[in-house]
Amino acid sequence: MMASDLPDELAGLLPRIQRLARRRLWSGLSAPRLRGAQAELLRLVATEPGVRVSTAARSLCLAANSVSTLVNHLVAEGLLRREKDPVDGRAALLYPTPAGAEKLREWHAGREALFREHLAGLDADDRAALTAALPALHRLAASLRNGDEIA
């Protein structure tokens, strides 16, 4: 591959890997199945209980109305709890429910098992190359995030 092909290859390959992984995960998970953005939001809320919807939107690089839609769905499924912010009654604070925490554990375990299995199927050189690429991928993500102005 030529260096000039890298942007297109990377931009196409990363979402394809995500879609394939989600498709495999969904087949092994109990209903309701978490979609990618739902799992990301639930993971954020589990890591930062009491996070505001607006803060979650910025952290996930999603529009606030998209996060509100995700919140409504996760609340309806009993996976997330929304409370009024005591400091600012217009804002909502998000908390995982016990069912949400369990669903997230199930998601994480399935995802880890899936990637562990498929990484084990690669040869040592491929695994080493992927490991070596991780810092660069993190820097690429940080670079893409800088100046992000999603409303």
Q: Give per-residue pLDDT as tens, 4-41.
A: 788 889 888 888 998 888 888 777 666 667 777 888 99
Whether 102 is in a domain gets the answer: yes
Query: What percent of the chain has pLDDT above 70?
Result: 91
Whether 119 is in a domain gets the answer: yes
Whether 45 is in a domain gets the answer: yes
Whether 68 is in a domain gets the answer: yes
Tens of pLDDT, residue by residue over 49-89, are 999 999 999 999 899 899 999 999 999 999 999 999 888 88
Q: How many domains does the chain have?
A: 1
Whether 101 is in a domain gets the answer: yes
User: Whole-prediction pTM value?
Assistant: 0.75
Whether 24 is in a domain gets the answer: no
Whether 111 is in a domain gets the answer: yes
DSSP calls for the chain: --GGGHHHHHHHHHHHHHHHHHHHHHHHSPSSPPPHHHHHHHHHHHHSTTEEHHHHHHHHT--HHHHHHHHHHHHHTTSEEEEE-SS-TTSEEEEE-HHHHHHHHHHHHHHHHHHHHHHHTS-HHHHHHHHHHHHHHHHHHHHHHTT----
Domain coverage including residue 129: 33-144
Which CATH number fits the domain that encloses residue 111?
Answer: 1.10.10.10
